[in-house]
Structure 1
Amino acid sequence: MAFYQLVQIVVVLLTGLVAGLFYSYACSVTGALGKLPDREYVMTFQSINTAILNAWFFVSFMGSLMVLPLATWLSYRAAVHFSFWLLLSATAVYIVGVFGVTILGNVPLNNMLERFNMDTATPQELSSLRERFERPWNQLNLIRTIAAILSFLLTILSLKLKT
């Protein structure tokens, strides 16, 4: 197996893992969290934000960010033109729609939640925090979920349509 083919397989795997993570979160966790009272919602989300910061997540999330441009460049060098355009599109979608939305949107909201002091919070403060957090975070998560799925599909197509 050539290095280029190995990189293509890895990029499909990594983008698929990220798409699957965001998709499963959007389909299950968001709905379950939405049913919780404010205090439990904030506490649970704070716990999730801590738990997600692990090596497995970083390998797929940051790995996609690094391997997508590599796969794109290798496709360009191999003169696999249609595959190159698919991978270039997948890379752009991932960088802007997944990584960019996460770093510029979800992470600042997560940081706001992390700084919130649960010990001294009144019910009104909890409700206000949730109002400022929940809807924007879920909307951003939907955007990055769609972007991750699109990036994943483009990488799959790049394997199948090497013309």
Structure 2
Amino acid sequence: MIVNIVLFLATMAAMLAAGLFYAYAVSVNPGLGRLPDAAYLAAMQNINRVILNPLFFMSFMGAVFLLPASTYLQYSRNTVRFWWLLAASVVYVVGVFGVTVAGNVPLNNSLDAVNLDGASAEQLSSFRATFEKPWNALNTVRTLAAVITAAILAGMFIFTKDTQAD
């Protein structure tokens, strides 16, 4: 029973994270991209502050721990599912979590340190130019990794069966 609960929670966490990054990539980023510099930077500062909440962390960080835990639990139970879960774990931990921690978070921290009220139009434009393109590129990478993780998990459920009943 615990094996299936952990697998369910890992799948839900990864799918929720994939949905968040996908929705962001196809709607939020393009919408923010149309804003003037000051509005764009202020919106990104606020989004980056608000997203740091328990619901976000339950999915984003939940997948970091639950996917490997589920992989471990499948090791002696179901060899085929083990390999699917190992692939999903590696893609998520490296492509979603790793890219976020190594790329997006440092950019978010640099944005958070900017005093938008005291900046000139030129300073705002310059900072946006150094922030937006790299941040969006990194978000595309983690979105693709999250969607690939979700596809691996979906494929696992479609193409494998549970070989041991609890």
TM-score by length of 2: 0.94
Aligned partner (choices 113, 121, 124) of residue 111 of structure 2? 113
Aligned partner (choices 147, 150, 156) of residue 149 of structure 1? 147
Q: Which moved more, 1:98-107 or 1:4-13?
A: 4-13
Specify the code of the residue in structure 1 equivalent to 2:27. S
Match of 1:125 in 2: 123
1:57 is displaced (CA, Å) by 0.1
Distance 2:31 2:58 in 1: 27
SS at match of 2:117: coil
Distance 1:129 1:35 in 2: 16
Answer yes or no: is the 8 Å Cα contact 1:109–1:137 preserved in 2: yes
Answer yes or no: is the 8 Å Cα contact 1:11–1:155 preserved in 2: no
Distance 2:66 2:19 in 1: 18
Specify the code of the residue in structure 1 equivalent to 2:71. T
Match of 1:64 in 2: 63
1:158 is displaced (CA, Å) by 2.4
Distance 2:153 2:63 in 1: 11
1:8 is displaced (CA, Å) by 1.4
1:159 is displaced (CA, Å) by 2.6
Answer yes or no: is the 8 Å Cα contact 1:105–1:140 preserved in 2: yes
Distance 1:155 1:3 in 2: 18
Answer yes or no: is the 8 Å Cα contact 1:15–1:151 preserved in 2: yes
**Once superposed, what is the RMSD of the aligned Cα atoms?**
1.0
Q: Sequence identity, in percent?
A: 47
Structure 2: state its 5+ residue gaps. Answer: none
Distance 1:71 1:155 in 2: 12
Distance 1:8 1:155 in 2: 10
Structure 1: state its 5+ residue gaps. Answer: none
TM-score by length of 1: 0.96
Distance 2:52 2:148 in 1: 24
1:5 is displaced (CA, Å) by 1.4
SS at match of 1:77: coil
Q: How many residues align?
A: 161
1:74 is displaced (CA, Å) by 0.7
1:104-146 Cα distance to aligned partner (Å, 9 max, x none): 0000000010001112101010000000000100010010001
The runs of at least 4 consecutive aligned structure 1 residues that moved more than 4 Å come to none
Distance 2:76 2:48 in 1: 40
Distance 1:73 1:120 in 2: 52
Specify the code of the residue in structure 2 equivalent to 1:131. A
SS at match of 2:92: helix
SS at match of 1:63: helix
Specify the code of the residue in structure 1 equivalent to 2:26. C
